[in-house]
Structure 1
């Protein structure tokens, strides 16, 4: 269910791009503001998916060392990755909020459709904060219930035993 809104946004973006390309190439009439709407939709899709990726631990990863690491090392690896996620998204939330304040103060808007950019930055900040919280909850689960981690987050536990 958490992927529904980003999925719908992705479909809408694809349809908008199709309409823009057809309009531009066949009718010599591109969709006004299509580029801006596409950019904003991609930002929304990305930041809406971050909390889900953090909670379910479904980010892209390379398992070069997983075959030679023992359960304790895998546990430590997951703990460190989640702690880095808390820190990175916490800082990102804070900095995006400050940037939102600055952009709102300047009255920045998109060039063509004049969409205010401040709320976009505040939304990115809030979703970054939610992602940091998701990582913090993962840290708690990794420490307190490592064997039940996969069951509670609906993903395999990636070898923690």
Structure 2
């Protein structure tokens, strides 16, 4: 929900800023530092959506070739996909943490608004950690599906 709220607010701010740019001759102004706010806000929103997407099996899938395979093979493919996604999320979160610490250490600020750059990293890091936790949990779910020969309903599609 937080990611969606932030995206809605960013959309409103973008519209206001565009109207301000279009109406400069009428005394209007764009939102100061709008691109800096969009950069940090979109990063947070993307990472805020990941835990829910991971839990609900809502990532894009291409099952053109796998739809005809036996259910056990599909469950194995799901497990491999889950492991790959977990490794990717762990690496991204690890590097996000190091980037955040780097920005914090150098006291880097944005050009226009002069807010610390690490704030955006921190805002994305929190949901990234949650994504890692859920992703590890989902690997356990996929292992359970493979050994029980029965898919577990987590709110998304099941095979």
TM-score (normalised: structure 1): 0.87
TM-score (norm 2): 0.88
Could you tell me which runs of 5 or more consecutive residues in structure 1 were left unpaired when the two chains were aligned.
Answer: none
Q: CA RMSD in A?
A: 1.6
Once the two structures are superposed, what CA deviation does each residue of 1:55-86 show, in whole Å capped at 9, x if it has no partner? 11101121121222111110111101111111
Matched, 1:22 2:19: yes
Separation in structure 2 between the aligned mates of residue 127 and residue 94 of structure 1, nearest angstrom: 13
Structure 2 unaligned regions, length at least 5 = none
Q: Which has the higher contact order (CA 8 A, sep 6+)?
A: 2
- Partner secondary structure for residue 74 of structure 1: helix
Q: Which residue of 2 aligns with 1:8?
A: 5
Q: 1:149 aligns with which of 149, 152, 156?
A: 152
Q: Compared with structure 1, are the counterparts of its residues 87 and 6 closer, same or farther at alpha carbon in structure 2 (3 Å cutoff)?
A: same
Deviations 1:79-100 (A, max 9, x none): 0111111111111111111111
C-alpha distance in structure 2 between counterparts of 1:62 and 1:148, whole Å: 19
Greater displacement, 62-71 / 51-60: 62-71
Alignment-derived partner of residue 139 in structure 1: 139
**1:149 match: secondary structure:** coil
Query: Structure 2 CA distance, aligned partners of 1:48 and 1:132?
Result: 12
Offset at 1:148? Answer: 4.9
Q: Offset at 1:149?
A: 1.7
Q: What is the rounded CA distance, in whole Å, between the counterparts of 1:128 and 1:52 in structure 2?
A: 11
- Equivalence map 1:5-154=2 (5 Å): 5-28=2-25, 29-145=29-145, 147-150=150-153, 153-154=154-155
Q: Distance in 2 between matches of 1:73 and 1:144?
A: 14
Contact 2:41 2:120 in 1 (8 A): no
- Post-superposition shift, 1:27? 3.2
Q: Shift in Å at residue 49 of structure 1?
A: 0.5
SS of alignment partner, residue 21 of structure 1: helix
Deviation at 1:105, TM superposition (A): 0.7
